[in-house]
Amino acid sequence: MKRRTFIRSAARASAGLAAASFAAPAIAQGRFKWKLITAWPKNFPAIGTGTQRIADSIHEMSDGRLEVKVYGGGELVPPFEVFDAVREGISEMGHDAPYYWIAKHSAMPFFCSVPGGLTAPEHAAWVYFGGGQALWDELYAGFGLKVFLAGSGGSNVGGWFRKEMNGLADFKGLRMRIPGLGGEVMTRLGAVPINLPGAEILPALQTGAIDAAEWVAPYNDLAFGFHKVAKFYYAPGVHEPGPALGLTINAEAFRELPSDLKAIVKRAAGDEAFRMLCEMTVGNAEALGVLLEKYNVQLRRFPSEVYEAMLAAGADVAREAAEKDPFTQKVYESWSDFRRKIISLSPLTELGYMQLRDA
């Protein structure tokens, strides 16, 4: 029995799910049927529609030889079990945010987003041409996985709050939904970070289980309806300047593909790395107007002392994460070296231009 088939059989028994749900992919005359599970609702704006675009692109470019069925978060496995489900062979692919898996390895956030770190285009540059992909491959190979950059939420806002935040004192004891190293930053400001999948955030706000929440930005936030409960919207944020999403692939399943289908999967992921950011940008611009004009959301900026504390804490948690593990230190050195270079460049390019244009 193949190792992959054995793993799938074990997963069926432990999960208690119907055998049909975990059948091995059909391979007949060079044709494959794969599952793609996600950490978010199916067809949710940008991050969900982007997942479906990946599946559709693979089907189209392969002329139907690789058929991919998408499952939203919770349809096949819970959102926070995507990584393990792909690793164990329950699904061939997953679409997720790598910082969800920080418990697996301290280097994970550097491949998604770090407070005070890289914007989406900067992160893509590091992955594609700055050495990031090789490090990402090294990390995921230890879990029996292959991974490609496959989308970005763009720069996230500071979040939704049920009350005004007038200074650092207002963060003391604040219960806030926020994952990754951003959660550690909130801890250092005195808040209590709580990690919840997207679909559970609004109910938690409604019941008072949490006092504040960050998700992405206006496009996704409007879709979830956070404005119905929390009227104070803080932006910009510094905790996730450019969160990247990964197409996580079971390495054994990937090896079984012929070379042209491997290339198609890679190209579909890379295409979505750009397209999702474009959809998010358009959607954010339109949704912001709706939030402000239709729903009277109160747009605010954090006080200067709060931004300063967030950035200082972000630098500390990134450096301390690197100290936990030799490999994370190697990732941090590559990432931080690129960050220093891009900070020197940005006033001469997009940042400098945008400051002139917007003034």
- CATH number, residue 48: 3.40.190.170
- Residue 23 in any domain: the answer is yes
- Residue 272 in any domain: the answer is yes
The yes-or-no verdict on residue 226 having pLDDT over 80 is yes
Question: In the chain, how many domains are there?
Answer: 1
- Which two three-digit tokens encode residue 155? 């720069």
Averaged pLDDT score across all residues of the chain? 93
pLDDT category, 121, cuts 50, 70, 90?
very high
- Residue 100 in any domain: the answer is yes
Structure pTM?
0.90
Q: Which domain holds residue 137?
A: 3-152+242-281
- Residue 167 in any domain: the answer is no
What is the predicted pLDDT for the residue at 30?
A: 87
- Which two three-digit tokens encode residue 78? 């819970």
What is the predicted pLDDT for the residue at 170?
A: 98
- Residue 107 in any domain: the answer is yes
- Residue 356 in any domain: the answer is no
- Residue 316 in any domain: the answer is no
Segment 262-296, tens digit of pLDDT: 999 999 999 999 999 999 999 999 999 999 999 99
- Which two three-digit tokens encode residue 349? 């390019």
Q: Between 2 and 205, where is the model more confident?
A: 205
- Residue 309 in any domain: the answer is no
Segment 130-165, tens digit of pLDDT: 999 999 999 999 999 999 999 999 999 999 999 999
What is the average pLDDT across 115-123? 98
The yes-or-no verdict on residue 21 having pLDDT over 70 is no
- φ/ψ of 236, rounded to 5, equals -75, 170
The yes-or-no verdict on residue 39 having pLDDT over 80 is yes
- Which two three-digit tokens encode residue 165? 């935040």
The yes-or-no verdict on residue 201 having pLDDT over 80 is yes
The yes-or-no verdict on residue 322 having pLDDT over 60 is yes
Q: Between 286 and 6, where is the model more confident?
A: 286
